[in-house]
């Protein structure tokens, strides 16, 4: 064996011995994959383990529907951090979350020549260059990257080189209740009914159909019932029956009854008494001014029932936990208003969705079902106190003069269960909707102070903050807020 062969043989033997002694050092670099940081949501309860093995130590259990981020995986095991602990979870229980934010379609203009990139990153492939002063439209952003289409190519551009193009609009006031439709025709889908004496912004007019923004939606109304200019909102009249013809149900403790009266007064005569779950048909919503609803029973009797004891959700024959949902504000009180979005509209949408999620699991009622009714703070608490309420949740949206203020927060007044309820809702709002966590706090708010049952006031976010507002106005995120509140309630029952 010549000298060169001896040297090569020794080197090979040394390499083999190293591989035997330190096998992991040769394969570890290839065993994992690093990728762009991605947000996921857990689809079930999920064990966080110390290594990429089902037999490794369990560090903690991660709840369902929690947001996690990862940029490294080994096979089907993803490295994540949760509650200050870093470990691995199985990818089969993760679903990818779109990290961007959808918002109302907005027009922009480029302030300089601008690269259109394949993804929301300067390291992403450049598709083309967009000239300065080019008009673009976007309804989705990821951080400061806006998704746009130019020359039939769709990608992302940096928001640093965009300026918003403000569309001219004219203020009008509705003179009657007005159908708000998806298209400029009476056959267009009904988005909502706008109450009388509401201010709307008209963007354009064609054949007497006005394209307007209202309540976070863009649609069309007929100009016949609009007058130019603004007016001070007035309280809605008793004649504005927002759900006349709808079926409602008597909501009272099992074994108790409520009076069907001859007129809208507790001093009027009793025609009969109605038990829990009795169906009635609404003939006129006088509760807007006098606390009563005009109804007709199945046997044809007409009379008046106190609004407190009626619900749109059929109660169980026996008492299940009763949840009272309180969408804040209403009617002439829009609450926080920014960029054409009103707190009154958004919280009602969320409350309705919470009710839909809870229906069949608990008994339910809302302090208001529509936007043309304003119950006072005392009336909201009284409704809960007059019934055997298990949980009371008042839903609101924040606003601040500081546009940087952001995030969700929850308030309680007293009681261990109220604190638990606030924490359960807060944890899920921040997790499900990705909101900044402003915490759970004591507050001397009248609506929760006056409620005897465990009560929480939930602030979903800040309408005055651009990022929060994009979520609050987005139906997909409204569904997340609703799921958070519903799950938080159920978790404490």
Last residue of a domain, one of 317, 341, 363: 317
Q: Is 140 found in the same domain as 67? A: no
pLDDT reported for residue 126? 83
| Closest listed residue to residue 480, CA positions, set 81, 102, 141 | 102
Q: Is 216 found in the same domain as 72? A: no
* Residue 207 Ramachandran class (φ > 0 left, ψ -120 to 50 alpha, else beta): left
pLDDT reported for residue 237? 32
Query: How many other CB atoms sit within 10 Å of the CB of residue 157?
Result: 25
| Closest listed residue to residue 265, CA positions, set 290, 240, 295 | 290
Angstrom CA distances, 127 to 67, 95, 153, 174, stand at: 31, 29, 8, 47
Q: Does residue 226 contact residue 174 with C-beta atoms inside 8 Å?
A: yes
Q: Is 240 found in the same domain as 214? A: no
Q: Is 327 found in the same domain as 448? A: yes
Q: Is 486 found in the same domain as 351? A: yes
Last residue of a domain, one of 287, 317, 347: 317
Q: How many domains does the chain have?
A: 5
- The sign of the torsion formed by the CA atoms of 69, 74, 76, 81 equals negative
Q: Write phi, then psi, for 341 (nearest 5 degrees).
A: -105, 135
- What is the DSSP code string of 201-254? EEEEEETTEEEEEETTEEEEEEGGGEEES-----PPPTT--TTTT-EEEE---T
Last residue of a domain, one of 264, 284, 317: 317
Q: Is 118 found in the same domain as 34? A: no
pLDDT reported for residue 3? 57
* Residue 237 Ramachandran class (φ > 0 left, ψ -120 to 50 alpha, else beta): beta
pLDDT reported for residue 21? 44
Residue 150: CA count within 13 A, CB half-sphere: 28
Q: Is 401 found in the same domain as 335? A: yes
Find the CATH number of the domain harbouring 215: 2.30.30.40
Q: Is 269 found in the same domain as 202? A: no
Q: Is 443 found in the same domain as 467? A: yes
Query: How many other CB atoms sit within 10 Å of the CB of residue 62?
Result: 21
Q: Is 430 found in the same domain as 345? A: yes
Q: Write phi, then psi, for 456 (nearest 5 degrees).
A: -140, 145
Domain limits at 305? 235-317
Strands 322-327 and 389-398: parallel
Q: Which residues, at least 6 apart from 103, have a Cβ–Cβ distance to it below 8 Å?
A: 139, 140, 141, 470, 473, 474
Q: Which residues, at least 6 apart from 152, have a Cβ–Cβ distance to it below 8 Å?
A: none
Q: Is 468 found in the same domain as 343? A: yes
Kind and range of the H or E element at 404?
A: none
Q: Is 52 found in the same domain as 89? A: yes
| Closest listed residue to residue 72, CA positions, set 116, 37, 46, 21 | 37
Whole-structure pTM value? 0.53
Find the CATH number of the domain harbouring 481: 3.40.630.40
pLDDT reported for residue 283? 81
Kind and range of the H or E element at 272?
A: strand 270-275
pLDDT reported for residue 233? 36
Per-residue pLDDT of the chain (493 residues; tens, 9 = 90+): 565 555 555 555 555 544 444 443 333 334 788 877 788 889 889 999 999 999 999 999 999 888 888 989 998 899 999 989 999 999 989 887 766 778 878 888 887 778 888 877 776 778 888 887 788 889 888 877 889 999 889 988 888 788 876 555 677 888 777 888 899 888 888 887 776 667 777 888 888 888 887 765 788 988 888 888 754 333 333 333 355 667 899 999 888 999 999 988 888 999 999 999 999 988 875 444 457 888 899 998 999 998 889 998 999 988 899 999 999 998 778 999 988 889 999 999 999 999 999 998 999 999 988 877 788 898 899 999 999 999 999 999 999 999 999 999 999 999 999 999 999 999 999 999 999 999 999 999 999 999 999 999 999 999 999 999 999 999 889 999 999 999 999 999 9
Three-state secondary structure call for residue 200: strand
Helices (H), strands (E): how many in the chain?
Answer: 9, 36
């Amino acid at each position: 064996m010549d000298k060169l062969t001896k040297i090569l043989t020794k080197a090979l033997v040394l390499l083999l011995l190293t591989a035997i002694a330190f096998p992991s050092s040769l394969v570890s670099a290839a065993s994992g994959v690093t990728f762009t940081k991605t947000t996921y949501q857990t689809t079930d309860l999920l064990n966080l383990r110390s290594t990429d093995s089902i037999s490794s130590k369990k560090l903690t259990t991660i709840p369902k529907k929690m947001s996690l981020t990862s940029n490294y995986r080994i096979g089907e095991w993803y490295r994540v951090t949760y509650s200050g602990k870093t470990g691995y979870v199985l990818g089969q229980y993760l679903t990818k979350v779109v990290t961007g934010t959808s918002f109302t379609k907005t027009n922009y203009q480029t302030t300089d020549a601008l690269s259109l990139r394949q993804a929301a990153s300067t390291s992403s492939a450049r598709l083309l260059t967009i000239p300065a002063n080019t008009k673009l439209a976007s309804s989705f952003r990821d951080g400061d990257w806006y998704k746009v289409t130019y020359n039939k190519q769709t990608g992302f551009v940096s928001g640093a080189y965009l300026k918003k193009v403000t569309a001219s609009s004219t203020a009008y006031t509705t003179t009657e209740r007005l159908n708000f439709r998806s298209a400029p025709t009476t056959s267009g889908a009904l988005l909502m009914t706008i109450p009388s004496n509401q201010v709307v912004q008209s963007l354009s007019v064609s054949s007497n159909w006005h394209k307007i923004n209202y309540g976070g939606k863009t649609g069309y109304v007929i100009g016949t019932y609009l007058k130019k200019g603004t007016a001070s909102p007035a309280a809605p009249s008793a004649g504005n029956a927002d759900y006349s013809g709808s079926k409602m149900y008597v909501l009272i403790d099992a074994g108790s009854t409520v009076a069907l009266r001859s007129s809208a007064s507790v001093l009027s005569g009793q025609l009969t008494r109605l038990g829990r779950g009795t169906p009635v048909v609404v003939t006129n919503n006088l509760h807007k001014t006098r606390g009563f609803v005009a109804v007709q029973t199945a046997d044809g009797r007409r009379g008046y029932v106190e609004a407190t004891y009626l619900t749109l959700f059929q109660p169980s024959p026996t008492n299940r936990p009763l949840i009272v949902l309180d969408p804040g504000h209403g009617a002439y009180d829009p609450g926080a208003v920014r960029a054409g979005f009103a707190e009154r509209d958004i919280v009602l949408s969320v409350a309705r969705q919470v009710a839909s999620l809870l229906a069949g699991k608990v008994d339910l009622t809302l302090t208001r079902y529509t936007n043309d009714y304003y119950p006072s703070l005392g009336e909201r608490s009284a409704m809960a106190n007059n019934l055997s309420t298990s949980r009371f949740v008042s839903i609101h949206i924040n606003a601040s003069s500081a546009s940087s203020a952001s995030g969700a927060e929850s308030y309680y007044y007293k009681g261990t269960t109220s604190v638990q309820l606030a924490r359960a809702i807060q944890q899920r709002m921040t997790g499900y909707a990705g909101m900044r966590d402003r915490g759970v706090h004591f507050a001397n708010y009248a609506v929760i102070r006056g409620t005897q049952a465990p009560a929480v006031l939930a602030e979903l976010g800040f309408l005055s903050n651009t990022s929060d507002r994009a979520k609050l106005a987005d139906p997909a995120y409204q569904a997340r807020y609703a799921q958070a509140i519903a799950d938080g309630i159920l978790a404490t029952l």
